[in-house]
Amino acid sequence: MGAEAPSGPMAPPGPDPLAGALSQALAGFRAQPPADMALAGGGRFLPRDAGGGVVRLSYCGQEVDVSWPDGGVAPASLLSRAEHILVLQYLAARGAVPPRGSWLAFLDLPGGSHHLQPFLAGAVEPLARAFGRRPGRLVEAGRRLGGRGLAVGSAAVEVPALPRVPIAAVVWAEDPEFAARAGVLFDVTAPLHLTTASLYVLGIEVSRRLVEAG
């Protein structure tokens, strides 16, 4: 029998699973005129005298500066690596279309059925566990992310994940007959700004932030 692969603190680091996605997102971001990206994405471009500049936009209610052309973000601690990639992809897409206030479930997104079960496990079920007994806390958490309450279910909140890509989270409280349920919804225009794969990640990241804020 051959030796087992090393594990634990002495194991060498494995390949970075997000390195390729980040490299691709940076290339797309650098290829676009920064002022056009800012305008289309609902942000502002702040040029620097020495060249380049910053695209400023909001993410989950907090201001983020994305440096152009290098693609770095400030404050660096605000975004996870996955969120950094999402912001770059969103800006490079130059979707420009404002949200309409009509909602789609993940299943209704193009190809959403292919990744529905992991999306439920990563985005939806954590909301039911966190807020099913006290649904009002969902609205409180959403407001900490710049969101507003919605009149759906036992409690619901619309979070401005990106300026033109809001996400709605809904909870139905548990009762003696039924377990708590939850939902994560996307504006009908979301596919014009991000692919379904990216919306999958965005839904999970917003859910995580809501749980942490609650």
Q: How far apart are CA 6 and CA 121, in angstroms?
A: 30
Write out the DSSP string of 52-73. -EEEEEEETTEEEEEEETT--E
- pTM (2 decimals)? 0.91
With the C-alpha atoms ordered 78, 80, 81, 83, is the resulting torsion angle positive or negative? negative
Tokens of 57: 């936009």
Q: Which of 199, 211, 205, 201 is nearest to 126 (CA)?
A: 211
pLDDT tens per residue, range 63-90: 999 999 999 999 999 999 999 999 999 9
pLDDT tens per residue, range 130-145: 999 999 999 999 999 9
- Please report, in tens digits, the pLDDT of each residue of the chain (214 residues total): 333 333 344 445 556 888 999 999 999 999 999 999 999 999 999 999 888 999 999 999 999 999 999 999 999 999 999 999 999 999 999 999 999 999 999 999 999 999 999 999 999 999 999 999 999 999 999 999 999 999 999 999 999 999 999 999 999 999 888 999 999 999 999 999 999 999 999 999 999 999 999 8
User: Structural domains in the chain?
Assistant: 14-93 (no CATH), 103-213 (3.30.310)
